[in-house]
Each structure stands twice: as structure tokens, then as C-alpha cells.
Amino acid sequence: MRLEGKIGIVTAAASGMGRAGALRFAREGAAVGVVDLDPAGVEAVVGEITANGGRAHGLVGDLRDDDFARAIVHRTATAFGGLDFVWNHVGHPGPASVEGVDMADFDIAIGLNLRTVLVTTAAAIPELRARGGGALLYTASTSGLVGSAFSPVYSMAKFGVVGFVRSLAKRLAPDRIRVNAICPGPIDTPMLRVFVARPDQQGTQTQDKEALVAARGRQNPMGRTGKPEEIANAALFLISDEASFVSGAALPVDGAATA
Amino acid sequence: MSAEQRTAIVTGAAGGIGRELVLGLLGGGLGVAAVDRTAAGLAELAEMARQRQRGADLLTIEADLARDEAIDEIVSRARGRFGTIDILVNNAGVGQATLRTDNWQRPIKFWEVTPDQWRLFVAVHTTAPLALARALVPDMMRQRWGRIVNVTTSLGTMIREGSPTYGPSKAALEAMSAIMAKDLAGSGVTVNVLVPGGVTNTAMVPLEAGFDRAEMIQPAVMAPPLNWLVSDAAGEVTGRRFLAVHWDPALPAEEAAAKAGAPVAWSGIATMPIEPPRRA
């Protein structure tokens, strides 16, 4: 039980990588606040956790609402008696365009990738301090390490996440709070179907999305997309006390794509 | 709902906040041993309980918490009436204005305080809560169910000018509450702090202070959060402080608690002391 006695939150946890993380963390002994916009998805994840004897708490809402982004922290800390970790997995693919970009799309991308995680982080830090330390994990992307030709705005946001993580790690080290980022390559989730064919991306709207996903996998050195559980495995390590000397890291989990 | 009646000791029970806490607990079906220094105040409280058809579940105990002997008297009388005591609410307070009635207009300086005056505030605000908790906690731990709620004061009041005995003695109780919660972690006994959140409309703030009484925090706001804290639903809630003024009773309790709560004392803002590694 690698997270025995720990209490934490996973955002965007109703599907894909977030769901894989919430389920794995609960199996490893953590009490988990499961956050998402999708009520049925949250209920299913919470149900699966509790059916297996774990502890979980569903929190349904839109993280773009600052009050909700803060409330997930306070409600989880109140329900379970404190807070040890947050996996800020919430994000958004962003627009493909630069010339002719719709600035409303930019606002959504920056809002979901950067603003929400800052609001949640600010609320979580005192709670982690009160428990004598903890772990903050952020989902960046390989596009936060190298430029994404597909979406410069997405890279803008995800490089921002990596910068935030490196800076916050230095500030919070005396509080024994570790701060890291996980940088997934192409992972087989529902959201990957959006990444390979962004709504404003030229030439992809008429193509079969599954074929685009398969092509993206073939481009990877390992010849495939990654599985949500492979991201959850890395997230588990970074969040657990086994990573006690790891902070400020942006860990690629990408089949050697950015090596 | 438990078939067995939960019972509580509430100190400072006849004051403005104390009576709201007592009547709130009685309204929830609990048995209450109400402790206060003033017989007249306790008699009024008993009458209010009777008017609410709850007189039979109230025991009044006149006692002065500044006396060490008072603790044993309180505990044995409460146990005699109710058996095991499940809940302790350390609400008693000595107002700063007891040292100087016009303290709001002419704030007392620390050098004007005598050691004996300081000792009285510590006796009521810190020693008595510790002594009562010590007496009651063994039973609470044995039955794996207990609640300690300490009424301290706003973090700002703990360090406010003009508050040289009230503030620091309540701050000591706040720090004690943080440690109590850690000592009792996992035992089924929770320890939390509940405060109004600001200047409250009770006799502790005299009319001469100059506040519009209707604009002050009303003591009744303290009852809903206390009732939740002592319930089974708050069994995992420990080591937190709640500001009653931010408790919205229209929300589901867990949401109200999330908005009104924070880590106890200054644990959310304090950096850990630097400590070298210890040899095993």
C-alpha cells in the first residue's frame, strides 16, 4: 500500500489518465477526492473505488469557477481530515491556430491549463503545510518540453506548467512539499481523439480519428500510444513518499519520443 | 441516529455564546452539563431549556474554573447524572474588560498587567480546558468516540493591542488544540476549534465599546457548526478551526464546513523548524 494513510485529490478524474490515477491511488490506500465536470463519470469512479473497499469522495463542477477550484481542496480536507497530495490533471488541448486564432479559444486553453491549477494550488498549500508536507503533481505534456507544431498555444501553456513546477518546487522545499510535472506523450484516452484533430486544425476534420491515433502511435519510437495506467504508474511514484528526493522534475512518460 | 443519548459538558454555559451552544445541543437531543460561575445565569439558562421542553436533559453546575478543585467537582457531578461524558466544549472566557471596564476606549498595556491577573486568564482559558480534557479523554478513547471543541478567538485577536492577557492565553489553547488533535489521531476522539470570527454581541463587549449591536456577529451563529462537529458525520474531522460567521446553514453541512474551516492554529502558514536528521 504505497499511499497508506494519504489523502489527495485528482482533477479531471472521470476518464482517461485521471481515472486511472484515482483508481490506482485508492488501491494503494489513499482516500481520494475525485473531481470532474461529468457527474456520471465521477459517480462511476467513486463507485468503483468504494466497491473495492477504498475511500473516495466525488466533487462535480467546473474548475473554471474559482470557488469550485478552491472548494475541492476544502471539501476533501474536511471530509477526510487533511490533505497530502493533489494531482492537477485538468487541462485542455487548446487551438491549433496562431494566425486567425480565436482569442476565446486562447482564454479557455490558458484558463484550464494554468489558471485553474494556480487557484487550486494556492488553496492546497496551507493544507499540505498543516500535514507537515506533501506532494503536488501537474500534468504538463511532451509539448511542455519541446515545441508542438500542432499547437503553439498548447506549448505556451504547458511550458508554463513546467516553469511553474520548477519555481514552486524551490519555494516550497522548506515546507517539505514536493512539486513535479508528468509529461505524457500520446496516451490512448478519449481526449487523444481531440489532440490528433483539433477543431480548428487544417485537413483533419474529414479524416478518421482512429486512423489518426494509430498513425500518432506508429510515429512513437515504441511504435504505439501509451496506456492511461502507464501514466498513473508514474504519477503514483511522484506522489508517493518513494519520491522523497524528487522535486522540480518534469518527467516524460512518452516512449522515448522526446529523448 | 444513535440509540444512546450523547452527553456534553459545556463551560461558560450562561454567557451569550455558551447558552446558544447549550440550547443547540439540547435541541439536538443531547444531555448537557452546563458549567458557569454565575448561579443567576444558570437559572436563566435552565428556564430557557424548560421553555423548550428540554429541561430534563440539562444539569447546571455552578463552579469557578480558576480553582483546581472545581475540575473534579464538575466531572463527578456530570458523570453522576449522565454516566460517560462524550463531548467537552471548552467555551468559558474571561473578558479583557474585566481588568479595565473602559478597555475598548483605553486599551490596557502589557506592563499594566500583574502576574496574578495573567495567571487568572491562563487558569480559565488554558489550564481548566486541559484539566477537563485529561479527566474525560480516557473514557472517550475507551469507547472510541469523543469530541473536544475549544472556543478560542480570532487569530487576529490573539495578538491585538489591548488584549495582553485574553489574546495570548487563548492562543495557548489554540496551540494546545493542535497538539491534542495530533495526540488523538485515529482514536475516534476529534479535537477542533470553533470561534465566532469577530466581535460578537455578548456581555464580554460592553455597550460603551460603541458598536451597533445589530452589526456585530450574533452568538446564535455558533450553534449549527457545533451541532455538526459533535455529530457522527464529522467523525473524521479533527485538527481544524471553524469560523461560525462563515458557516452558511442553508448549505449541506459538508459544504458549510468547507467554507468555514481551515487547519487549526497557524499550521497552514507556519514553516517547519529546521531539524537535522536524527540517528536511529
User: Which long-range contacts link B43-49 to residues 24+ away (Cβ below 8 Å)?
Assistant: B44/B14, B44/B19, B45/B13, B45/B14, B45/B19, B48/B19, B48/B23, B49/B22, B49/B23
Task: Calculate helix-pair angle for B39-51, B16-27, nearest 10 degrees.
Answer: 30
Provide the CB-side half-sphere exposure for A173 (13 A, CA). Answer: 11
Is B262:B195 a contact under the CB 8 Å cutoff? Answer: no
Residue whose cell numbers read 478551526: B241
Closest Cβ–Cβ partner in A78, A81, A126 for B258 = A78
Active site (catalytic) residues of A: 154
Cβ pair B270:A129 closer than 8 A: yes
Q: Which of A9, A74, A127 to mutate to test the interface with B (most CBs of B within 10 A)?
A: A74
Q: Report yes or no: B155 at the A interface, CB cutoff 8 Å.
A: no
Number of H helices, E strands in chain A: 9, 7
pLDDT bracket for residue B59 (50, 70, 90): very high
Listed by start position, the domains of chain A span 7-253
Written as one string, the DSSP assignment of B116-165 is HHHHHHHIIIIIHHHHHHHHHHHHHHHTT-EEEEE----HHHHT-TT-TT
pTM of the model: 0.85
Cβ pair A130:B258 closer than 8 A: no
Fold of B7-263: Rossmann fold (3.40.50)
Interface of A with B (CB under 8 A): 71, 74-75, 77-82, 125-127, 129-130, 132-133, 174-176
Q: Residues 222-251, chain B: which have Cβ within 8 Å of A?
A: 236-240
H or E element, residue A128: helix A116-130
CA-to-CA distance for B64 and B80, rounded, in angstroms? 19
Q: What pLDDT score was predicted for residue B3?
A: 53
CA B52 to chain centre: 23
Q: Which of A65, A78, A83, A178 to mutate to test the interface with B (most CBs of B within 10 A)?
A: A78
Each residue's pLDDT expressed in tens, for chain A with a length of 259 residues:
999 999 999 999 999 999 999 999 999 999 999 999 999 999 999 999 999 999 999 999 999 999 999 999 999 999 998 999 999 999 999 999 899 999 999 999 999 999 999 999 999 999 999 999 999 999 999 999 999 888 999 999 999 999 999 999 999 999 999 999 999 999 999 989 988 888 888 778 888 889 999 999 999 999 999 999 999 999 999 999 999 999 999 999 999 999 9
Q: What pLDDT score was predicted for residue B1?
A: 35
Per CB-CB distance under 8 Å, the chain B contacts of A81 are 236-239
Fold of A7-253: Rossmann fold (3.40.50)
ipTM for this prediction: 0.73
pLDDT bracket for residue B2 (50, 70, 90): very low
Per CB-CB distance under 8 Å, the chain A contacts of B263 are 77, 82, 126-127, 129-130
Query: How far A32 CA lies from chain B's nearest CA (Å)?
Result: 14
Is B171:B150 a contact under the CB 8 Å cutoff? Answer: no
Per CB-CB distance under 8 Å, the chain B contacts of A173 are none
